[in-house]
Amino acid sequence: MARVWVEAPRTVCAGCGVDNGAMSDPARAERPPTLDPVACARWALWPHATSPWLNEEIGRRMEDRLQWIRLQPKSWVDWAPVSGGLQTHAKLRARYPQAQCHVMETSSARENVARQTLQAPWWRRWLSSDALTFGAPEPGGAEMLWANMALHTHEDPQALLQKWHQLLAVDGFLMFSCLGPDTLRELADVYQSKNWPPACHAFTDMHDWGDMLVQAGFAEPVMDMERITLTYANADSLLDEFRTLGRNLHRDRFAGLRGKQWLAQLKNALLLLAKPQQDGRLTLTVEVIYGHALKPLPRLKVQQHSSVSLQDMRTLLGQSPSGRSV
């Protein structure tokens, strides 16, 4: 198990433009990612037996932020809890015991793991209704969407943000976390010194995430980040742990399988990560980005010919689907 050290967080309010670090550059959000979509799809299908401990730790920290949220959702979505954290899911259910929870997984294999872990026995569900369902709610049917450590491995994060926006009700909110650009910077330096292909894909900056949230229709996005330092006793313990955390999804990563000779070279290169201030342990940085945003009332662009969906019109008029005022 890695030792963990945490640096002081930074916060940015994308809506007001206030940051105690660098300012946002909207043009950067237009840059294409270095993600390989095929590799992303394969990783989304990878069967996890348990949730990675680092994701659980990040989920615990994000769950603690909910104490500052006034809205108590009556219905919420847990996006990909098997990789995001099954223990974190239990904490959320305890925080909102009366709320209807919709679990949405990225593959049937992961959904089976979630069902076995989270679903009550059949006889308990028969005796009383279970506030847990699998699958998406109706569009606009969730007041909170929780997505821990999901965005940075998705091949089209902008489309995913728009999907989350559609699932949320007006005044509902999104809570998410993902990895930031300083993640594995030490490993990237080692790979570069050996003239190897990139060690991992480029992670999106929190300012860009704020811009993408606004582009997807969210309002008042608030972003903050922290750096977590992981230390390992040796190369074997580092590699064993990182196999559970993810994969190199860069388009230009090493192609094909590599043998024992390559593995020996890699382990020897990882010794460059040793830091005297960490008692000679191998050291890696993980930058974690936390995001929160609201879904506002839909805005209609006034044009010569305008169109609006029936659902948006009902929302604007403050009516329920049956036609009664709400």
Check residue 246 and give its pLDDT: 86
pLDDT in tens, 170-188: 999 999 999 999 999 999 9
Check residue 1 and give its pLDDT: 57
- pTM recorded for the entire structure: 0.82
**Distance between CA atoms of residues 150 and 176, nearest Å:** 8
Q: Comparing C-alpha atoms, which of 289, 54, 284 is closest to residue 185? A: 284
pLDDT in tens, 2-40: 655 555 455 555 444 434 343 344 434 444 468 899 988
What are the sequence ranges of the domains in the chain? 3-15+35-298
**Distance between CA atoms of residues 207 and 203, nearest Å:** 12
Check residue 6 and give its pLDDT: 55
Check residue 285 and give its pLDDT: 95
pLDDT band at residue 324 under the 50/70/90 scheme: very low
For residue 315, the one-letter residue type is T
pLDDT in tens, 208-246: 999 999 999 999 999 999 999 999 999 999 999 988 888
* Tokens 């201030």 belong to residue: 277
Check residue 33 and give its pLDDT: 66
**Distance between CA atoms of residues 72 and 70, nearest Å:** 6
Sign of the dihedral defined by the CA atoms of residues 287, 189, 35, 217, in that order: positive
Residue 117 to residues 53, 112, 194: CA-CA distances in angstroms? 16, 9, 43
The class level of CATH for 3-15+35-298 reads alpha beta
Question: Rounded to 5 degrees, what angle do the CA atoms 144, 37, 44 make?
Answer: 50
Stretch 292-315: mean pLDDT, rounded? 72
Query: In degrees rounded to 5, what are phi and psi of residue 223?
Result: -120, 140
Q: Comparing C-alpha atoms, which of 177, 113, 114, 118 is closest to residue 149? A: 177
pLDDT in tens, 79-130: 999 999 999 999 999 999 999 999 999 999 999 999 999 986 544 554 455 6
| Cβ–Cβ under 8 Å, residues 218 and 165 | yes
Query: In degrees rounded to 5, what are phi and psi of residue 193?
Result: -65, -25
